[in-house]
Amino acid sequence: MLVCQCKSALLYWIILLALLPLAVHTTSLAQCAPGAIICETFGAGPRGALPSGQTNFMYRAAACPNDGEYNIVDAVDGSCHGDAWHTVTEDHTPGDVKGNMFIVNASFQPSEFFSQKAEGLCPGVTYEFSMWVLNINKVLQPGICDEYILRNPIIAMRVEQADGTLIREVVQPAVTRSANPVWVQLSMPFVIQTNANDVVVKLINKGLGGCGNDLVIDDISFRPVHPSLSIQFPNTSASETTVCADTRLTLSVGAAAGYPNPVYAWQQSADNVNWTPVPGSGQATYTINPVRAGRTYYRLRNAQPINSAAIGRSQCSAESNVLIVNGRPDAPFNLGDDLALCDGRPMVLQVPNELPAGTSFVWSDQSKNRQLTVSTPGSYWLETNLDGCTYSDTVQAELENCHLEDVYIPDAFSPNSDAVNDKLVVIHSGDFTSYSFRVYDRWGSVIFSSRQAEVHWDGTFRNQPCPVGAYAWTIDYSVLNAKNEERHFVRSGQVMLVR
């Protein structure tokens, strides 16, 4: 069971229920309210009996059911029971061709006459249980049949957990007789304060049958009623704004905050019909970065933490108004990767050819040529302007060793102990990630081998000086290039040993 942890939360629910009073309306509304979970309209055309378990009354396919009986009809015959009923030519919804309604002739004792299960509800959410009722008894003078009391329907609206535990019951005011047929809406709010997800809604006629207490019911509805939630643009109450594409725009919760201490889920849509969540947007504000070109719709849902997993369901979360963002087209582009300046050689940046017609541009040095020559390290940018909407891209130019993959092996050395060119040194400006160097004699035998780049051949084999002449070598190595990617190489050549 959910237990309120603070006075503020309890006060919130007391205020919310106070703002949803028991309702008795006489204005005709079309069918069920938007968002209804249960919407029993009883269909149109021939219907037959209700499903088993939905009513305890006896089904009788007759224009004038008797006490304890019901029928599903598209019109009420005013001549029934001695001309005691109104003639009702259509159901609650005007223009609903052959639309049905539930006609009930009350039993002699108070009894339940309608029951339906609602599944998959959200704990902590306020729901409204409502229906439209018409007292079909005409206004007559009290007589002996009524024991001088005009009997009218007195309906109790009851909500239970699936195990029968009462959640709430409200006995509505009597639906009085009228000179002409009048539809009256009865409604009742309630809150599921447990973690139960299924309830049973019931209608019980508390009045006595016999003479009077006959009614028709239509559009039985069961829907969530969430607190109001609004969102807004900065410094304006407008519902639509136009800004440049590829800029930033922040949306925030407005005056109506929805649920207290909620979880948030921002959503976007291209057509105001199909909505998708905005990643990483679980806050009271959301910054669109970047604004997309064209029209995009935004809205916000918030819910109590207990319903965070179901925040995308309209039944479990409050839904805000919709804001429209019109992104004016700009001229986006990409200058490419950062630049590596090798050996002082300049590089050239180009204005992209695919810019939209009417686009102007300027380089970081304020020039307006289609090319910019880069010869020194630094930041270089290009800014475009299309009808006042700007876009820029920046690249960094840095001096780099562009020969990290190269090795240099001399074509001759002189191991004569004069401290000049005495060893065959493999020259490389970086570090090896793997290394193997070998030297061969004229018959292909290995006379020197090393896996350490700092160990060099001194022109000997088994501590004896090698003869003057040409020697073949191979090197197998791996290095990291300027992009930190490992590259593998195998190379070979000859070196001349002189003394």
Domain parsing of the chain, residue ranges: 7-224, 229-328, 339-399, 412-497
- Residue 385 has a pLDDT of 96
* Share of residues in the chain with pLDDT > 70 (%): 91
| pLDDT attached to residue 438 | 98
Please report which confidence band the pLDDT of residue 399 belongs to, taking 50, 70 and 90 as the band edges: confident
Please provide the CATH number assigned to the domain covering 7-224.
Answer: 2.60.120.260
How far apart (Å, rounded) are the C-alpha atoms in residues 12 and 19? 11
Reported confidence tier of residue 145, pLDDT bands at 50, 70, 90:
low
Q: What is the pLDDT of residue 391?
A: 95
In 3D space, the residue among 16, 310, 6 whose CA is nearest the CA of residue 191 turns out to be 16
Q: What is the pLDDT, as a whole number, of residue 275?
A: 97
Residue 270's φ and ψ, nearest 5 degrees, are -95, -15
| 458-497: pLDDT as tens digits | 999 999 999 999 999 999 999 987 778 888 999 999 999 9
pLDDT attached to residue 142: 62
Report whether 33 contacts 23 (CB < 8 A).
Answer: no
Asked if 292 and 389 touch (Cβ cutoff 8 Å), the reply is no
Residue 1 has pLDDT above 50, yes or no: no
384 has pLDDT over 90: yes
Write down the pLDDT at residue 2: 31
Q: What is the mean pLDDT of residues 445-467?
A: 96
Distances, alpha carbon 48 to alpha carbons 72, 100, 134, in Å: 7, 11, 21
* pLDDT for position 28: 37
Provide the pLDDT for residue 120: 86
pTM, entire model: 0.68
- State the CB neighbour count (10 A cutoff) for residue 466: 19
Structure confidence at residue 94 (pLDDT): 86
Q: Do domains 7-224 and 229-328 have the same CATH topology?
A: no
Strand blocks (E) in 106-198: 111-118, 126-135, 155-161, 166-171, 183-191
pLDDT greater at residue 413 or residue 32 = 413
Residue 463 CB partners (closer than 8 Å, separation 6+): none
Query: CA gyration radius for the chain?
Result: 43
Q: E strand or H helix at 16, and its extent?
A: helix 7-18
Locate tokens 């059911």: which residue? Answer: 65
Task: Judge whether 258 and 229 are in contact, CB under 8 Å.
Answer: yes
> Among the CATH numbers 2.60.40.10, 3.50.50.100, 3.30.910.10, 2.40.10.120, which is that of 229-328?
2.60.40.10
CA atoms of 299 and 242, how far apart (whole Å): 17
pLDDT tens-digit map of 198-257 = 899 999 999 877 778 899 999 999 899 999 999 999 999 999 999 999 999 999 999 999
Q: Is the pLDDT of residue 21 over 50?
A: no
Asked whether residue 12 carries a pLDDT value surpassing 50, the answer given is no
Helix (H, G, I), strand (E, B) or coil at 291: coil
Average pLDDT, the chain: 89
The pLDDT score that the predictor gives to residue 16 is: 43
| Number of alpha carbons in the 13 Å side-chain half-sphere of residue 132 | 22
Closest CA to 349 of 404, 405, 290, 392: 392
What b-and-e string marks burial along 468-491, b requiring 16 or more CB atoms within 10 Å of the CB? eeebebebebebeeeeeeeeeeee
Mean pLDDT along residues 312-325? 95
Contact 317, 367 (CB under 8 A): no
State how far the Cα of 40 lies from the Cα of 93, in Å rounded to an integer: 13
The single-letter code of the amino acid at 407 is V
pLDDT of 261 above 90: yes
Within 8 A by CB and 6+ apart from 214, the residues are 81, 84, 85, 103, 104, 105, 106, 135, 136, 137, 153
Average pLDDT over residues 164-192: 93
**Of 155, 143, 134, 115, which is closest to residue 210 (Cα–Cα)?**
143
The model's pLDDT over 88-130, given as tens digits with 9 standing for 90+, comes to 999 998 888 899 999 999 888 888 999 999 888 899 999 999 9
**Count of CB atoms situated within 10 Å of the CB of 233:** 20
Quickly state the pLDDT bin for 149 (edges 50, 70, 90): low
- What are the residues facing 242 on neighbouring strands? 326
The answer to whether 41 touches 319, Cβ cutoff 8 Å, is: no
Contact status, residue 80 vs residue 137, Cβ threshold 8 Å: no
Tokens matching residue 172: 């509505």
How much is the average pLDDT of 392-404? Answer: 86
C-alpha distances (whole Å) from 26 to each of 132, 178, 181, 241, 360 are: 9, 12, 11, 40, 65
Architecture of domain 412-497: Sandwich (2.60)
Q: What is the pLDDT of residue 77?
A: 94
Residue 499 pLDDT level (bands cut at 50, 70, 90): confident
